[in-house]
């Protein structure tokens, strides 16, 4: 989780942190990820925390844009910026866990659709499942920080509207047990279709997890450690 990120670097990183060029290597590695549309907001967020430290968490959005341009020498894509700011909001406020509009905006941003996506536009089940998992990797909710009933209801309705019966693996810890259509018991073909849809969503999430883990390995950290985050990742696999 992100709070453990700025702990003392692992031993194999301490030597790199002491070299004159390590900061430049970290900056260049993150710059490559910033240019790639497939980069995950959580990975970009952690990379910026390593380079800038925690101070940037209080910057105004415009200041963040200016600092990005000054640090990396180019203007990043607006959707990339939205991913970063969504990840920041996850760890600095509880809005994404408590308020439905903030949750929807966060899901759209993390999935790469941008913050300006109309609320009426349906969210794909795979995007919902992965983005919720990415939020939890950054800031595991517990106690009073669980998702609100309104958000839970929205997730259930999103799956139902898309014809998904059952709960994708990534959402099981947050959603009530699914209510199955009793007629499926006498419809093997229908049951196979339902289970196939669930399997597709689960496979999409697994694919994202692999890509996320790979991107995280491409960060060249100087000040931070992803040990705690990777331990959390293993728990959620």
Top-confidence residue, 77 or 186: 77
Q: The pTM is what? A: 0.85
In angstroms, rounded to a whole number, what is the distance separating the alpha carbons of residues 112 and 175? 24
Residue 77 covered by a domain: yes
Q: Which two structure tokens, joined as six digits, stand for 13?
A: 């990183």
Parent domain of 139: 2-174+192-220
Residue 111 covered by a domain: yes
Residue 235 covered by a domain: no
Give the model confidence (pLDDT) of 158-213 as tens digits: 998 888 888 999 999 899 876 555 555 555 665 666 678 889 999 999 999 999 99
In angstroms, rounded to a whole number, what is the distance separating the alpha carbons of residues 159 and 52? 39
Residue 227 covered by a domain: no
In angstroms, rounded to a whole number, what is the distance separating the alpha carbons of residues 20 and 124? 45
User: Can you list the alpha helix ranges (DSSP code H) found in the chain?
Assistant: 11-17, 22-35, 41-52, 61-72, 78-92, 95-98, 100-110, 125-138, 149-161, 188-218, 227-236
pLDDT of residue 20: 52
pLDDT of residue 116: 82
Residue 139 covered by a domain: yes
pLDDT of residue 206: 94
Residue 54 covered by a domain: yes
């Amino acid at each position: 989780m992100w709070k453990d990120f700025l702990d003392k670097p692992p031993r194999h990183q301490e030597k790199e942190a002491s070299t004159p060029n390590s900061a430049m290597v970290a900056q260049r590695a993150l710059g490559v990820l910033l240019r790639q549309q497939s980069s995950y907001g959580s990975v970009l967020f952690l990379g910026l925390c390593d380079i800038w430290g925690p101070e940037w968490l209080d910057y105004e959005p415009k200041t963040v844009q200016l600092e990005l341009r000054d640090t990396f020498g180019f203007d990043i894509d607006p959707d990339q910026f939205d991913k970063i700011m969504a990840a920041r909001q996850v760890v600095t406020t509880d809005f994404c866990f408590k308020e439905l509009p903030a949750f929807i905006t966060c899901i759209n941003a993390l999935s790469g659709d941008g913050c300006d996506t109309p609320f009426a536009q349906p969210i794909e089940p795979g995007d919902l499942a992965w983005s919720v998992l990415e939020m939890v990797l950054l800031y595991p909710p517990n106690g009073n920080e669980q998702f609100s009933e309104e958000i839970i209801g929205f997730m259930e309705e999103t799956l139902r509207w898309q014809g998904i019966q059952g709960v994708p693996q990534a959402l099981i810890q947050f959603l009530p047990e699914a209510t199955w259509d009793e007629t499926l018991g006498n419809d093997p073909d229908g049951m196979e279709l339902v289970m196939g849809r669930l399997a597709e969503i689960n496979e999409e999430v697994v694919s994202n997890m692999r890509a996320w883990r790979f991107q995280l390995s491409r960060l060249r950290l100087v000040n931070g450690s992803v040990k705690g985050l990777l331990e959390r990742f293993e728990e959620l696999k």
